[in-house]
Every structure is written in C-alpha cells, then in structure tokens.
Amino acid sequence: MSHSLKFYIDGAWVEPSGTARLPVVDPCTEAPFAEVALGNAQDVERAVAAAKRAFVSFSRTQPDERIALVRRILDAYLERYDEMAATITREIGAPAKLSHAWQAGLGKRHLEEVLRTCETFEWQRKKGTTLINHEPVGVVALITPWNWPINQIVCKVAPAIAAGCTMVLKPSEVSPLNAVLFAQIIDAAGVPAGVFNLVNGDGPTVGAALCRHPDVDMVSFTGSTRAGIDIAKLAAPTVKRVHQELGGKSANILLDDADLEAAVTAGVNSCFGNSGQSCNAPTRMLVPAARHDEAVEIARRAAEAHRVGAADASDTTMGPVVSDVQYGRVQRLIGIGIEEGAQLVTGGLGRPEGLTRGYFVKPTVFANVNPSMTIAREEIFGPVLAIMPYRDEEEAIAIANDTPFGLAAYVQSADIARARQVAFRMRAGSVYLNYPAWDAGSPFGGYKQSGNGREYGEWGLEAFLEVKGIVGFGA
C-alpha cells in the first residue's frame, strides 16, 4: 500500500524520523505481505504540534462547516469502500463477507450516525440568564485496537471532527494499513492540514508519548484493561481527560422460557463472530441447570457447523485469530480450561483438521463451567464459549455480575417484560435483549474495569466537548 512507510502529519505524507519498520503479517498464512514505519517521540512531537496549530482556527469553525466536512469524508469513504474491506480481510484475516458487510460497514454507519446526531444536537442553550456552550476539548490522542479497526477509528475520528477537535491517531501496529487508507480518505475529503494526523507505532513508544504529552488534552483509548491502566497513569500528571473502552467477559443469560434451540445457536454464533475477537462477545452462556445437557448438545452442533479457513474462501465462516501472540494466548487458556476440569464439548487445542499453517483456532465449547474457573473470569479473545448452569433467576443474575468487567450483557426470554427487568439489574454498559439488530446510536462503553465514558451517537460527540457556562449572558 502506498504511504505505508510514511506518516500523515500537517496535511502531508512525511518521512518518519527514525528507521524502525514492522512487517504486517497475513494471519491466514503467517507470511508478511507489507511493512509499516514505526514512529518515535520525535514523530509524536511533530504531529501534536501540527494538531495544536490547527486547533486555533479549526476550533472556531461553525458546526455546519464541520458537518459538511464529515459528509465529504463519508463520500470519500464510500469511494474506497471495497478497498477498505479487502485491506481489513488481509491484515486481520476476517472472512471477506464479514469484512464487507461489517468491518468496513461499521465505518460507514458511524459516519452516518454522526451526521444524524449533529442534525439535532444542541450546541448552545440558555438556562435562565446563563448560556451553556459546548466547545471542543482540544488536541486529542486516539489509540485504537486491531480487532474492529476501522470501526474504532471512525467512531472516534468522526465525532472529534464534528466537535471541532484536532487529533493524532495511533492505530494498532498489528492492523495499521486500514488506518493508512483512512488517512488517504481524510486527505481526499479536504480535511484542513493538521486537523487529522497519523503516526504508526507501538504502545510503549508512540502511545506512551501521546498519553504523557502536555499539549494533548484528551486520550480516547480502546483496548485491554491492562493497557488502559497504564494509560491512566501516564495521563494523570497532566490531568487530561481519559476516555476508555476496555475488556469484557459478557454473560448471556438464557432464561427458562427462552427457545433453547434458537437462543443457544444464536449465542454460539455471536460468541464466535470475528473469530471471538470482540470485547463485547457473549462468552459466558448461562443456562438453566435442568436444561444444561440439552443446551450443550445444541451448542456442540452450532460450533461444529462453522467452517474455519482462509478469509477469501467462499464457505469460510470463521477466519484465524490475528497473530501468533493471540493464538498462543487462546491456546494457553483452552489448556487451562481443560486442566481446571471444565467439560470440553468440542474444539480444544491445536488447529482445525487440514489447516497446518495460519493462526486458526478450533471453535471451542466448554460445559459445566463454574464461576471460579479461569475461563469464566479472564477475557480469552478467541472462539471459546463457557456454558454455565444456574439454579434460578437470582443465581443467574449473581453469576452474570460476578466479574471485574461490565461492558455488555445479554438476556434471552420469550417474555420481553421479564427480560427488561433482568436487564435493569445487569451491571453493564450495554444490555442486548433477544439478539437485537446493532444500533449505531446506542451508547457503547462499560462499567467497572471495562472502562469509562461512552461512544456512539450523542455520547460519542459529547465525549469530545467541554461545557462552558457563561453566566449573565442574557442579563
């Protein structure tokens, strides 16, 4: 890809200050197919300085001007849509159909949602004689993950631009090429120089330099809880705003009146989507103890119906996990599940039959998992489901909430009123009832160690805004 060995700073593609490079590996073949430059503190300094200069004028633009800019970004995105999908397929191994419909599709939908949000957003309002004014927070650092890469880039960049912020993006070094393509889209849309800047690099170098930089006013981070803790510590001395969307271990409660065949099958497929590499995946399936064995058999059939293989194969429903590091982590946790006595229903250690190369994981289901087991408590980030029996509704709720995480929860019931009441008791930022359609306008973020703040819709826009009260304005 053109520009992969450069950074986008101050409206131009520039040479990095250092010589460090990193191969981009196709997880289906384990072979490098591209290379990106790795930045350092000097590159961060250039990018932050450009964003700081641009903020002076861009922060004073009117909302209508910025909305028109987001619309141009959407138009430019649609022109490169197929290329975006293909790029993500290659660098993370997502099946082509998934990349086209969802990986690239979510970028489009977030741009559209920001435009809808801005149509009705109250940038100013009067409260008595006081004027409440929403203003851009400043220069923001955006640090994004590899699993849904353009989704997390766009759901940060689009509202930040609409708010009037300027920014530096550090995408994951594991899946950086979609970010390079997005920078080309930004350039084609005519985004003013310095408003958007891209520096590739790793977390300990580029990420840390951004988080501690005194001219960065806010950090928006999506990634692991461990990294989120480090970011909060780095940002603390400058008291900058830190917005985090972190890990999850989401429970999926199947109440005793649910259609078990449909609910278990859909739950397995939701858990295994994107090769299990979703922070809000329903990885803990809670089923009535009296129907545990029935649920296990349904889950086995659903798991074994998946076709694991190359991302470009027409019958592939599940690609590889993203890297050798991720493959090793998933294998380690599957091994721990076996050692701790969970019942291995299907899947297990090693690659699926016939696949000798690539980071492919067997779709794995464990049953009779108890809440103290490692696979019930740690985020695995792979296609591994833990089925957990419960005695009654109260115990199901207690098990679901017995986790340091609180990103999402799922409730399945034939009685929507009953499902709603259980939803109110979930300690999670999002609760999904009966597998609803994805909603780009629903607030997304977590309780507890799953982070703070919310993304999407008006919450995503407000995340990048300061609130100013001008007292006596209407006197």
Structural domains of the chain in order of their starting residue, each with its CATH number: 7-246+450-470 (3.40.605.10), 251-440 (3.40.309.10)
Q: What is the pLDDT of residues 35-67, one digit of tens each?
A: 999 999 999 999 999 999 999 999 999 999 999
Percent share of the chain, pLDDT over 70:
100
180-208 mean pLDDT: 98
314-327 mean pLDDT: 97
Residues counted in the chain: 475
Q: What is the pLDDT of residues 7-26, one digit of tens each?
A: 999 999 999 999 999 999 99
Q: Which of 245, 379, 455, 458 is catalytic?
A: 245
At residue 390, the pLDDT reads 98
Q: Which of 118, 279, 455, 462 is catalytic?
A: 279
The pLDDT-based confidence of 475 (bands split at 50, 70, 90) is confident
At residue 430, the pLDDT reads 98
450-468 mean pLDDT: 97
pLDDT of 90 strictly over 70: yes
At residue 2, the pLDDT reads 80
Is position 279 annotated as part of the catalytic site? yes
pLDDT of 180 strictly over 80: yes
pLDDT of 164 strictly over 90: yes
Q: What is the pLDDT of residues 410-448, one digit of tens each?
A: 999 999 999 999 999 999 999 999 999 999 999 999 999
The pLDDT-based confidence of 89 (bands split at 50, 70, 90) is very high
Percent share of the chain, pLDDT over 90:
99
Q: What is the mean pLDDT of the chain?
A: 97
87-102 mean pLDDT: 98
143-162 mean pLDDT: 98
Q: What is the model's pTM?
A: 0.97
The pLDDT-based confidence of 1 (bands split at 50, 70, 90) is low
CB contact burial 57-84 (16+ within 10 A = b; e otherwise): ebbeeeeeebbebbbebbebbeebeeeb
Residue 191 or 474, more confident = 191
Is position 245 annotated as part of the catalytic site? yes
